[in-house]
Amino acid sequence: MSALALLARNRFRQWVRNPLLGDGTLAGQIVISAIVVLAVTLFLLAPLFALGWTLPVLLETLYPDTPPQQALSRLLLPGFVAAFPVRVLFHAGSRGTLQPYRILPLSRRPLAAADVTLHFASTHTLAALAFLAPAWWQVIRPATSPTESVLWLLAALALVGVWTLAALFLHASLGRRSRWFWGAVVGSLAVGAADVWTEVSLVSAVSGPALQRPWIGLFLFGGTAAILARRVIDARVDALRHSPASATSRMPSWLEAIAHRLSRYGDTGRYAALELRRAFRQRRLRGLLIMGILMGPYVGVIDQMGSGSGDSFLWVLWGMGGGIVLIYAPFVIAAEHAHLDGIITAPANPESMMRGKIVFYQIGVLVCALLNAPMLAFLSADTVWFALAALPLVLGVMAPMMPWVGAGTPVPMDPGRSVFSFSVNTSLHTLPLIIPFIGIGVVAIVFDATGQAFWLLALAAPGLAGLAAFRFWARTAARRLHRRRHRLVRDLRTKDPL
């Protein structure tokens, strides 16, 4: 059996046994996966296909003096560059570690090449093809000769390959050669700054000539894809030959002083200090916290670019600590899989441990809100009042729910890997955290339409009640952890770490 067939078979079996989808049976996997496929088709693939099919009319409206095929050629590479951050952030990880295959009589390079090949079977590739196929059929095929149209399509497919392989290369570089990652980040920022300051789109200047003469684009993008594929495969082979990177690092002295001060406040303070030390010493958890904090400014900037004002209630969902809750919550218990046996059997009060976790998450939400507070100066008074009303809900309801949700996520997490290298799976266990988000969105719509202060009180009241019920949250999470302890230990021992 070839390495590609072996990996494909094992990935299918891993999908069947994935506890995050369905109830662990093949029927449950098929039902949940069918729902996911339907949602992706309706909300992602169908709009992209419609955009590609109506592209001639859109290009003629936006660029009346430019032929549609030339406009598409100039815009294609900038479009992939703009979508590249999404490709990196929502990258599907390694889809399973290759370390168990080291003992098999298989050559490492074909195994690494098969792993890279399977990464092309992703939602990102389907989204790119859903747009490229109708765009090529409607814009390029009628305006060029058959040979040129086929070469243009091959060049565009090579660009999709560069798009995917560049994301894999950045993930591999972030894991073992971080200077390549930061070099790519600095280079991208430099190109963007040059485009703004010189008012000359360097990316469009490369995209237009390369695709208007498709043999040049095929040579350029195909050669780049070949180089990136070689580097990514070499990184995979290197990872198979060497042990994984260290999972821990030193914590700054000022954070250690804060943790020492927290540990003075009884059992709850000691567990909160332990959470602080673990979050900042482990690479994955540290990255999750930083990502949760930075989601507020990121959403605010993107909304300002789209609407021109940045005055949106969407920012409130992330700027007031919602990013930390959604991103960090599923890994509250999963990050402790290496010593979960000791946590469960330790002669300590599990309620105190959960209280410490809740205090740490509430402090994290407050820090996130304080760091994002300067953005309130650029928002309207209604948005500021809405943000202040939403903060108690995040502190009193969503943050205390994190340990309860984490106790129901039976997949271990490798704390030594990059924050970008795990798969964002659809999990029914995280649905309770989505409900408060939906409630905030509904109240935002009603308050924006009516302007009545009653809705702000209705939003803040559950949060204040949740703050008063602090012990209830801790007791509920401790009971759920105790009730599911055997299943958690079994699953965290047998599943591959994310």
Output the pLDDT for position 16.
66
Q: Are residues 270 and 389 in the same domain?
A: yes
User: Which residue segment(s) compose the domain that 23 sits in?
Assistant: 3-241
Q: Are residues 258 and 237 in the same domain?
A: no
Output the pLDDT for position 419.
59
Output the pLDDT for position 310.
42
Output the pLDDT for position 137.
94
Which residue among 181, 206, 241 closes a domain? 241
Structure tokens at 146: 């058959």
Mean pLDDT for the chain? 77
For residue 56, being part of any structural domain is answered with yes
Q: How far apart are CA 247 and CA 225, in angstroms?
A: 31
pTM as predicted: 0.61
Q: Are residues 19 and 150 in the same domain?
A: yes
Q: Are residues 109 and 200 in the same domain?
A: yes
For residue 248, being part of any structural domain is answered with no
Q: Are residues 415 and 278 in the same domain?
A: yes
- Torsions phi, psi of 248, nearest 5? -120, 160
What residues of the chain score a pLDDT lower than 70? 1, 15-29, 32-33, 36, 89-97, 174-186, 188-200, 242-251, 296-319, 329-330, 332-348, 378, 408-433, 491-498
Q: Are residues 266 and 375 in the same domain?
A: yes
Q: Are residues 79 and 20 in the same domain?
A: yes
Which residue among 211, 241, 271 closes a domain? 241
Q: Are residues 109 and 217 in the same domain?
A: yes
Q: Are residues 365 and 448 in the same domain?
A: yes
Contact 211, 73 (CB under 8 A): yes
Which residue among 212, 241, 270 closes a domain? 241
* Domain count for the chain: 2
pLDDT digit string, tens, across residues 131-149: 999 999 999 999 899 999 9
For residue 246, being part of any structural domain is answered with no
pLDDT > 70 fraction of the chain, expressed in percent and rounded? 70
Q: Are residues 276 and 144 in the same domain?
A: no
Q: Are residues 174 and 285 in the same domain?
A: no
For residue 247, being part of any structural domain is answered with no
Q: Are residues 313 and 395 in the same domain?
A: yes
